[in-house]
């Protein structure tokens, strides 16, 4: 598989989130060409602020590998990681992060700041942005547009 195909797997996870009424963000962890972890946002479902796609995909990968170090692994995520997720990425020793859409409000892989490549930490990641950026951005844009329309209809009725 190539980068776009792995990002399509992450988009499938994002679609699962959307179907549950969650913010549609998905992630997959890849090691040696094999998907070893996958997940999507579950904050609304779990009422838990830390159940972001990246955190859950990393947990899945660690469980499947029976290891907390994911050295050599790649993370594909539909939206640029937030500070919390960047921390988990660094702590799990993921080698490369590929993301689709930039996050101007919370992105810490280059948009607001770049935690993943900060030499003050004991680990740095390679980062590549813009993988299927249009599709990754569209699923979020459409979700929030539909959510605003639903809230407006509820308010008017």
Rounded CA-CA distance 54/92 in Å is: 11
Rounded CA-CA distance 59/53 in Å is: 10
Pairing of strands 34-40, 74-79: unpaired
In the annotated binding site for Zn(2+), the residues are: 52, 82, 85
User: Which are the contacts of 13, defined by CB distance < 8 A and separation ≥ 6?
Assistant: 26, 27, 28, 38, 39, 40, 53, 57, 78
Cα–Cα distances in Å, from 47 out to 107, 124, 136, 154?
A: 22, 31, 24, 22
Residues 51 and 42: beta-carbon distance below 8 Å: yes
Query: Does the active-site annotation cover 134?
Result: no
Catalytic residue among 13, 22, 54, 80: 54
Give me the active site residues, please. Answer: 54
């Amino acid at each position: 598989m190539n980068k776009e195909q792995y990002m399509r797997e992450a988009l499938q996870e994002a679609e699962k989130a959307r179907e549950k009424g969650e913010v549609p963000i998905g992630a997959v962890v890849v090691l040696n060409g094999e998907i070893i972890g996958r997940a999507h946002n579950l904050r609304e479902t779990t009422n838990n602020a830390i159940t972001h796609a990246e955190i859950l995909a990393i947990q899945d990968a660690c469980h499947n590998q029976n290891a907390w170090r994911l050295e050599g692994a790649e993370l594909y995520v539909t939206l640029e990681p937030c500070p919390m997720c960047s921390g988990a990425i660094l702590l799990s020793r993921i080698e490369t992060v590929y993301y689709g859409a930039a996050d101007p409000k919370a992105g810490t892989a280059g948009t607001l700041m770049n935690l993943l490549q900060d030499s003050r930490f004991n680990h740095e990641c390679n980062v590549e942005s813009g993988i299927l950026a249009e599709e990754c951005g569209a699923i979020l844009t459409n979700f929030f547009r539909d959510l605003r329309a639903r809230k407006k209809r509820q308010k008017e009725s």
